[in-house]
Amino acid sequence: MSQQLFSLHSWPRAIVHIDGDAFFTSCEEAIHPELRGKALITGGARGIVACASYPAKKLGIKRGVPLHEASNI
C-alpha cells in the first residue's frame, strides 16, 4: 500500500496569475542579462509582436501590433 503525501485537496485554494505576454521576453532576459530593463519584443514569424517586456509595454507596444508599427514607437 503506497502512502500519498500530498493530494489536490491537501492544499488551500489559490489563484495563480501568470503574465504570459511577458514570458518569452523574460526567458530572453534570463539568457541575455544585458537585455534586462530594455524595451524588448519577440515575434517575427508572422510579422507581429508576439510578446513585449514591461518596459516595452510602458512605451505602448502591445501584442499583435505589426512589427513595423512597433519599431516606430
The per-residue pLDDT for range 6-18, each reduced to its tens digit, is: 676 766 777 777 7
**Residue 4: inside a domain:** no
Given this model, what pLDDT does residue 42 score? 87
Number of other CB atoms surrounding residue 17 within 10 Å: 5
List the CATH number of the domain containing 46: 3.40.1170.60
Domain that holds residue 33: 18-70
**Residue 39: inside a domain:** yes
Q: How far apart are CA 62 and CA 65, in angstroms?
A: 6
**Residue 2: inside a domain:** no
Number of domains in the chain: 1
Q: How far apart are CA 7 and CA 37, in angstroms?
A: 40
Model pTM above 0.75: no
